[in-house]
Amino acid sequence: MNILLKSARILDDQNKSLHGKVRDIWIKNGVIEKIATSVTPDSRTKVIELPNLHISPGWIDSSVSFGEPGYEERETLAHGARVAALSGFTDIILNPNTNPVPDTSGDIVFVKKTAAGKGAHVHPLGTLTRLSAGTDLAEMYDMQKAGAVAFYDFKSPVTHANLLKIALQYAQGFGGLVFSFPMDASIAATGTVNEGDTSTKLGLRGIPALAEEIQIARDLSILEYTGGKLHIPTISTARAVSLISEAKKKGLDVSCSVAIHNLFHTDEVLHEYDTHFKVMPPLRTAKDREALRKGVRNGVIDMVTSDHMPIDIEEKRVEFDRAAYGSLGLESFFVILNSIFGPELAVEILTRGRQRFSLESPVLKEGARAGLSLFNPEGEYFISKEGLLSTSKNSMYIGKKGKGRVYGSVTEHQVYLHKA
């Protein structure tokens, strides 16, 4: 792969000598050969010139779901990895919500081999417990040796406090990262949306903010006792931000993420009972949304994620209470994030998180392996169903407007660009 990115403006606040500069970037055989004001390539090099082309070190998404194995009709690993690459991502953390779930080293090897070279680099999570049943720990050490970057029973809270204690203690022996979904199931019960004015008006069963906050408080207490590394995925309430901020000030090794939809929407969008807005954790209030945005800006929230989850149309085109949770997010991620925070902070957010998963960060310098995201941060972008790349089409962003557009990405394997 030999390409020349022509007249690209670089956004990389870790590289002060290049940040904000317009440069030609020549990539030969997957390695950055030259960065200069002007480069004359050889005849075997493909020249890429795009309107208002901006580049940055490759983006990462810390919560992505596909379907394979078991739910290939939602999304396959190969196609999903390509969708991620065309959406600007060079790396994704893959959730373990398949059938069967990946709870052995062999399962992790299958995922990595199937997705290798198909698009964005896929870094699988293994389950925390066998079969994600919440009873016995899975083969955590063996899975990490096989390539699992952390351990998570996807969207399932760790009900038994002692199990989380043992997991955190055990994982310290090999530097493992433990996920704990922030929800007390006994308080959430059969709720489907945020408990508040909207749920009361619509007659839908609510999930109180307390369900998230009491679980986080418990988990942080256990972490303070055991030590180890804890990640709390997709928080959604103002109090959750405060609890994690306090824990970090104590020196606890905790990180967290928020889903992009909890930064964009509130539960007021539910007035038409549109199941595309049914997500877990649920959309919350404007007060929660503002606290979450502040948490992203000040670094209390470590990562923003698409929480991308393809779902069959049959599982969404039913009554709200019976509909499956989840929305697409990869394709819309940048334009929504850019509309909230602007391009400089959006890119900084999109490149956060690799260190938490012990992954190498792409570097924009000569001699480094290529790992770049390509985009235009300007202009209005209308999100349509026809523009979605995923096999499933369950996006809550259809009909919404974002800012900018994504051209694609470059890895050492390939260049992935949208068709003109």
Please name the residues in contact with 312: beta carbons below 8 A apart, sequence gap of 6 or more. 73, 74, 324, 392
Q: Where are the alpha helices (DSSP H) in 283-355?
A: 286-297, 333-341, 343-350
Rounded to an integer, what distance in angstroms lies between the CA atom of residue 46 and that of residue 48? Answer: 6
Rounded to an integer, what distance in angstroms lies between the CA atom of residue 34 and that of residue 340? Answer: 34
**At residue 202, what is the residue type?**
L
- Annotated active-site residue 302? The verdict is no
Q: Where are the alpha helices (DSSP H) in 298-419?
A: 333-341, 343-350
Choose among 155, 89, 88: nearest CA to 122: 89
Residue 105 Ramachandran class (φ > 0 left, ψ -120 to 50 alpha, else beta): alpha
DSSP letter assigned to residue 58: P
Please name the residues in contact with 419: beta carbons below 8 A apart, sequence gap of 6 or more. none
- CA separation, residue 419 to residues 71, 170, 416 (Å): 28, 48, 9
Query: Do the strands 22-28 and 31-36 form a parallel or antiparallel pair, or are they unpaired?
Result: antiparallel
3-class secondary-structure state, position 144: helix
The sign of the CA dihedral 386, 388, 394, 399 is: negative
From the list 91, 184, 307, 321, the catalytic residue is 307
- CA separation, residue 66 to residues 52, 193, 277, 356, 407 (Å): 32, 24, 19, 22, 22
Q: Where are the alpha helices (DSSP H) in 326-397?
A: 333-341, 343-350
**At residue 230, what is the residue type?**
L
Point out the residues that are catalytic. Answer: 307
